[in-house]
Each structure stands twice: as C-alpha cells, then as structure tokens.
Structure 1
Amino acid sequence: MRKKLFAELIGTFILVFAGTGAIMINDIAGAIGHVGIALTFGFVIVALIYSFAHVSGAHFNPAVTIAFWSMGEFERKNVFPYIFAQILGAVIASSSLYLLLNENFINVSEVSYLGATLPSGSLVQAFGFELIMTFILMIVICSSAVHGKATKDFAGLAIGLTVGLESMFAGPITGASMNPARSIGPAIISGNLENLWIYIIATILGSVFAALIFLKVFQSD
C-alpha cells in the first residue's frame, strides 16, 4: 500500500507541477500559449499513466478514485488514503512552484493564482462545464482501461488526449480542472478559495454519473 500511495502522491505532484507550472510560466514569459498549456496537461497524463498504472492504477484524481469505488472497482478502505496522497501531492507541487518562481512576480494574481482554476463566466456555466467534462473523461477512462474488451495498451493515450482536448477548448472558460486535487493545490497555497467548491462537487458528480452510465450501459457488453 505504501508504494501505491507514494505513486499517487508523486504522480499528482508531477501533474500539478507541470500543468500549473506551464500556466505560471506562460504568465511570466508569454512563451507557451493556451494550446501549449493544454498539451502540457495532456502529455503529462499520458506519461504518468504509462509510468504508474501498474503500481497504483494511476488515479491522480479524487473524483476518479471515488468513481472507481462507487462502481466496485476500488476498496472503500483505500479511498481516503488515496485522496489524501493526491491532495498532498498537489499542495507540495503548488508550494514548490511558489518557492521557485516567486522572484518573478509580486502578487500571486499575476500568475493566475499559481495556476488556479477560476470561472471566467457564471458559476452555473463553470459547474456545468466541469460536470460534463469530468463525465466525458471518466467515460473514456472506463471504456479504455476498465472494460473487459478494451485495448488497454492504448488507455494512457486515450485518457491523455481527452485531458488535452478538454483543456484546449474549455480552459479559457473554467480552467478545465476535471480533478479536485488539481484545483485544491493552487487554491490553498495562493489563498484563493473562492468558487473552489465548484471544482470539487461538479467533478465528483460528473465522474460518479459516468461510472453509473458505464455500468448500466457499456459494462454488460
């Protein structure tokens, strides 16, 4: 279990460090751009899944962990330890970025509050986008990595491409979280907790709903 928790911690650390780091560096240097940020999130997910799936299942996302538990694919006793490890990894990543880059900004608002996920429109719009995007992500995860007939060697690529695609089209609207830990880390370290609830509740609801649909519609095939 210790190896699994460390894999979840270090994997979530890498995800948040690379993804939100790209946002911060783009704010500082203007050298990456929106597409580059989206690709960073997608690429790092691909790398992490192929690196850690055989160790911990490569969740790196509390919403995914909860969804797997809801569909009987994950033991209840391991849910809290996994989520704790994921959030801790995200917080350490945001702390590291702050320490490494703080000489490049005066206020955290200059670097998007350390790459936090913030709605650009209404709260209803952000909630809807996050719920639907996490639903899509979880359906892809289940269909590519859980289904008995899936070609699982390509699961990492399918999941990473989905994250990159959703980040590319919805990033300017909501920050395209799809992951409570990814949002909690920057929010805690930057001190901007406003609207964080959206990125916790909507993503969990979206992932659990996707798990239910998968079980009822696709798993029986």
Structure 2
Amino acid sequence: MANEKMEMSEVGVTLVSSEVKPPPARPPNKFERVFQPCLGELVGTTFFVFIGCVSVIENVESTGRLQPALVHGLAIAALVACMAEISGSHFNPTFTLAIYLCGGMEMNMVAPYVACQLLGGVLGAAMAKAMTLRESFTRVHGAAFAVLQPDAEIGGALFGEVAMTCLITTVLLLGAFNVKTKNPMVPFMVGCTVIFTILAGGDVSGTCMNPARAFGPAVVSNYWTHHWLYWVGPIVGGLIAAILVRLLLGDRKMRLILK
C-alpha cells in the first residue's frame, strides 16, 4: 500500500510539474533547406544594394566618404544579424565562393545563391533609381563605381580591391566558420570592416568588395567602365582569404595541412 501511495505521489508530481519538455526538433523541409535560403539572399542583397546606392546617390559633399561608409557598414551588420539563421547572410558572390571552399555550404547551393545575389543587386539598384532624383542618379551613374576614370591608375585600384576583399573575407571566415575563433559578434565585426575599408580606400577604387553591389547599378545605369575590376579584384581577394584559412589560419578541422 505504501508503495502504491509513493507511485501515485510520483505521478502527481510529474503531472503538476511546471517543466514542459520541448517537442522533438523537426528536420527542415525542402522549402527551408533550398528555397528559403535563396529568398533570404535575394531579399538581403536587394536591401543592402538599395540602401548602399541611395547613400552614394544622395551623399552630401561635406560628409565625404563618411556617409556611404556608415550606411554600408551598419546596413550589412543589421542584415547579417537578421538573416544569419535563414541563409547564412552572404549577400556577396565572393563570400559564397569562399565559404564553399572552406566547407561551409554544399556545392549545389552555390549557383542559386550567386544568381539570387546578382538579381538582388539589380532589384536594389532599380529601387534606388525609383527613389532618387534623376539628376542625382545620373551624376554618379547610379552609384556604379564611377571613381575610376580612363586615365586612372588601374593597378592600384585592382590591388586595393584584392587586399580589402581579402581582409573582410578573412574576418567573415574566422568569425563565423572557424571553430577556434568563432564569435557571436561577427555581424558587428563585418560591419566595422566595411566601414573602415570604405573610409581607407573609397577614393582609390570605391571599395566595392562585392560583385553583386557593382553589377546591379551597372545594369540599371548602363555604366560598364572598368566594371571587370569589381569582379576580378573581389574574387581574387576572396580566394586568397579562403586559402589562408584553409592552409594556415584555420583550426585543425578547417586546415587541410599541418594538422
């Protein structure tokens, strides 16, 4: 009888317990694995390019590079923080390529991500054109990196894009994917890197570091002068960053050699 009372007491305690066991985690479906991440990249890149282009088109001369630097950096920090659990918050074909090379995503998602980023770049630039005055838009070619002129020093600008993209990609890879250096502050870290690279190199190359950011305004404004530089520079910089992390800076899981 005592045993029965004890069993009933245990049952009663269990029934009135405030602890609620969470339901078992449901594996993501196809929409969450494939389509939602692509939509996240499309939406995130669209708004990043939109707000970035507007900051350049409507830039006040007295602020110099400060206004575009702050807008690009703060926008990317906010978007990375919001979209990280949906798509990983790449918003940049260079980041996508580097992340894939470091084992952060599957190959079958690389092409859809890049396509969504480029489409997002075009949509964002079109939104910026719809919002701003025609005279302001035309003056800066829709923020399509009109810094370089035909007689400019292309070599220095190309080197700048390579070096600055290498820097920001390294920050992203070490802050978000390398177990030893992973940091929850990575959105802030990437945003700060965008700010100080634009402040440092904005007058040299415009500090693009993102082919999607260059491609959208170029399409909408039909301005293609030295456009190749904003593909070659960021891609080479991203590849160098991935090699550095994979071979030297990564932890034992990330490194391919010297384990």
TM range (shorter): over 0.9
Question: Following the alignment from structure 2 to structure 1, what is the Cα–Cα distance between the partners of residues 131 and 187?
Answer: 30
Question: Following the alignment from structure 1 to structure 2, what is the Cα–Cα distance between the partners of residues 6 and 211?
Answer: 25
What pairs with 1:46-195 in structure 2 (closer than 5 Å)? 46-103=77-134, 105=135, 108=138, 110=139, 112-120=140-148, 121-195=152-226
Are the counterparts in 2 of residues 116 and 175 from structure 1 also a CA contact under 8 Å?
A: no
Q: What stretches of structure 2 of length at least 5 have no aligned partner?
A: 1-33, 253-259
Are the counterparts in 2 of residues 119 and 126 from structure 1 also a CA contact under 8 Å?
A: no
Change (3 A) 1:165 1:151: same
Aligned counterpart for 2:235 among listed residues 192, 198, 204: 204
Deviation, 1:119, is: 4.3
Deviation, 1:30, is: 4.4
Question: Following the alignment from structure 1 to structure 2, what is the Cα–Cα distance between the partners of residues 75 and 24?
Answer: 37
Question: Following the alignment from structure 2 to structure 1, what is the Cα–Cα distance between the partners of residues 203 and 223?
Answer: 18
Encode CA deviations 1:39-94: one digit per residue, 9 max, x unaligned: 11110111011000111000000011111122222211111110110011110111
Question: Following the alignment from structure 1 to structure 2, what is the Cα–Cα distance between the partners of residues 138 and 106?
Answer: 32
Aligned counterpart for 1:15 among listed residues 28, 48, 67: 48
Are the counterparts in 2 of residues 22 and 32 from structure 1 also a CA contact under 8 Å?
A: no
Encode CA deviations 1:144-192: one digit per residue, 9 max, x unaligned: 1111022421111111100111011111111100000000000111111
Match of 2:251 in 1: 220
Question: Following the alignment from structure 2 to structure 1, what is the Cα–Cα distance between the partners of residues 107 and 36?
Answer: 18
Would you say how many aligned residue pairs link Structure 1 and Structure 2?
216
AA matched with 1:80: A
Deviation, 1:118, is: 3.4
The alignment partner of 2:84 has SS state of helix
TM-score by length of 2: 0.79
The alignment partner of 2:89 has SS state of coil
Question: Following the alignment from structure 1 to structure 2, what is the Cα–Cα distance between the partners of residues 153 and 167?
Answer: 24
Question: Following the alignment from structure 2 to structure 1, what is the Cα–Cα distance between the partners of residues 176 and 132?
Answer: 37
Are the counterparts in 1 of residues 51 and 71 from structure 2 also a CA contact under 8 Å?
A: yes
Structure number, greater radius of gyration: 2
Match of 1:4 in 2: 37
Are the counterparts in 1 of residues 48 and 72 from structure 2 also a CA contact under 8 Å?
A: yes
Identical pairs, percent: 28
Judge which range, 112-121 or 193-202, deviates more: 112-121
TM-score by length of 1: 0.92
Are the counterparts in 1 of residues 51 and 128 from structure 2 also a CA contact under 8 Å?
A: no
Q: Greater helix percent: which structure?
A: 1
Question: Following the alignment from structure 2 to structure 1, what is the Cα–Cα distance between the partners of residues 200 and 44?
Answer: 24
AA matched with 1:118: A
Which gives a bigger RCO, structure 1 or 2 (Cα 8 Å, sep 6+)?
A: 1
Deviation, 1:122, is: 1.4
